[in-house]
Amino acid sequence: MARLIFLGRLEDMAGTAGREVPAGTLADILAALDGDLAAALTADRIRLAVNGILVADRAAVVLGEDDELAFLPPVSGG
């Protein structure tokens, strides 16, 4: 299994800070999620990090066993 991490407002949308999912492509993982959550996770401003490393090419994301994928919303503050 792989682990999804939801940060900021994405945690509120997901109803949890993390979720275990079967390993696979990003497309497969998103297809298994609630439609509203999947849509929010694919927004242009959401950044992805696999095992703590930011990902530039979403199409190349393939999670293996014990991998972690974090969804990082834009940061705001003052």
- 51 falls within a domain: yes
Separation CA 70–CA 67 (nearest Å): 10
Domain range spanning residue 56? 2-63
In order along its 78 residues, the chain shows pLDDT tens digits of 999 999 999 999 999 999 999 999 999 999 999 999 999 999 999 999 999 999 999 999 999 999 999 999 987 665
Domain count, the chain: 1
43 domain-assigned: yes
Q: Phi-psi bin for 66: left (phi > 0), alpha (psi -120 to 50), beta?
A: left
In a domain, 70, yes or no: no
68 belongs to a structural domain: no
pTM of the model: 0.92
Task: Answer yes or no: is 72 within a domain.
Answer: no
**Residues β-bridged to residue 9:** none
Establish if 54 belongs to a structural domain.
yes
